[in-house]
Amino acid sequence: MKLMRVGAPGAEKPAILAADGTIRDLSAHVADIGGAAISPDGLAKIAAIDPASLPVLSAGERIGACVAGTGKFICIGLNYSDHAAETNATVPSEPIIFMKATSAICGPNDNVLIPRGSEKTDWEVELGVIIGKTAKYVSEDDALDYVAGYCTINDVSERAFQTERQGQWTKGKSCDTFGPIGPWLVTKDEIADPQALPMWLTVNGEKVQDGNSKTMVYGVKHLVSYLSQFMSLHPGDVISTGTPPGVGLGMKPPRFLKPGDVVELGIEGLGTQKQTFIADV
C-alpha cells in the first residue's frame, strides 16, 4: 500500500493511493497515518478496505509528510561508503547517530527555507524507515517485523551550522522545513529488498546524486536492531538512513543551495519530491 496525508499543514487527511492513481480518503476509517493505524493490525485493517469504495480527493491538493505523530526523527551519518570517501571521512566502526528535530518535518513538495545566516545549505536524498510497533532490544533477524514501511527523505543540511559551529550536528540538520518526508509511506510488503533501491537527486535539472541503497554500510535490519539497544523505537518514529555520494559538500569546489534553486529527488518505488528553496526572512 501507498499511504499518504493530504491537505493544508495541520489539517491533513489520511489517504491511500489507489491502483488507478487516484487519491482516496481514509478519514472514515483511521484518524491519521500514524500510531495504531500503522501497526501490523492497523495496516491489515486498511488493506482489507476496497479503495474503490473510498471518496476521491483532489489530485491538486497539497501532500503532507506521509506519517503523523513522529516522536523521534533519527538520522544515520556517513552510512554510504562512497559518500564517506567523497567527504574525506572514515567509515565509522559503528553507526553515527544524530537527531533531527521533528519541527523540521514538512511535506515532500513544500518550499524549503534557507535559514538566516546560511551559506552552506546542502541536499541529501535518503531512504526513510518508518517504525510500526514498539521495538526494544530486537535482533537483526526480527528487525523488519517492527517496520511499517519506507519513504523518501531529503535530509537537508546546513554544513557550517553542522560542522563549523560548536557542538553536535543537530543544529545543522534541524532548521524549519529541513525534513521533507514522503510522498508516501510504502508498506514493506511492496519493497522486496530495501538494500537494492536506486535513488537520485537533481539541482535545477542537473543530476548530482545517482546512488543505490546497496552501498549502505549498515543496512536497515542492522540499524533498527542497533538503535533499539539504546532507545525504544515507537510507531511513527522515522529513521533516515544516510545518503549516497553527490552532495554539495563533496563537490570540488563545494556547491550549496541559494534562493530560487529547485531540488527534485526520488527513490525507486517510494515516489518523488520537488522543493523550491527560498530565503527564510
The helix (run of H) or strand (run of E) holding residue 208 is: strand 206-212
How confident is the model at residue 82, as a pLDDT? 76
Cα distance between residue 188 and residue 36, in whole Å:
16
Q: Are residue 78 and residue 152 in the same domain, yes or no?
A: yes
Q: Is the pTM of this model over 0.75?
A: yes
CB 224 within 8 A of CB 146: yes
How confident is the model at residue 162, as a pLDDT? 83
Residue 187 lies in a domain: yes
Residue 256 lies in a domain: yes
Residue 52 lies in a domain: yes
Q: Which domain holds residue 126?
A: 73-279
Beta bridge partners of residue 99, listed in sequence order = 74
How far out from the chain centre does Cα 152 lie? 5
Q: Are residue 135 and residue 273 in the same domain, yes or no?
A: yes
How confident is the model at residue 87, as a pLDDT? 73
How confident is the model at residue 173, as a pLDDT? 94
Q: Is 194 helix (H, G, I), strand (E, B) or coil?
A: coil
CB 121 within 8 A of CB 257: yes
CB 198 within 8 A of CB 266: no
What does the H/E/C string look like for 70-117?
CCCEEEEECCEHHHHHHCCCCCCCCCEEEECCHHHEECCCCCEEECCC
Residue 120 lies in a domain: yes
Place of cell 517492527: 146
The pairing of strands 2-6 and 185-187 is: antiparallel
Q: Are residue 49 and residue 84 in the same domain, yes or no?
A: no
**Domain of residue 91, CATH code:** 3.90.850.10
Residue 175 lies in a domain: yes
Going residue by residue through the chain (281 aa), what tens digit of pLDDT does each one get?
999 999 999 999 999 999 999 999 999 999 999 999 999 999 999 999 999 999 999 888 999 999 999 999 999 998 988 777 777 777 889 999 999 999 999 999 999 999 999 999 999 999 999 999 999 999 999 999 999 999 999 999 999 888 778 777 888 999 999 999 999 999 999 999 999 999 999 999 999 999 999 999 999 999 999 999 999 999 999 999 999 999 999 999 999 999 999 999 999 999 999 999 999 98
How confident is the model at residue 28, as a pLDDT? 96
Residue 64 lies in a domain: no
Q: Are residue 23 and residue 118 in the same domain, yes or no?
A: no
- Total count of domains within the chain: 2
Cα distance between residue 145 and residue 134, in whole Å:
10
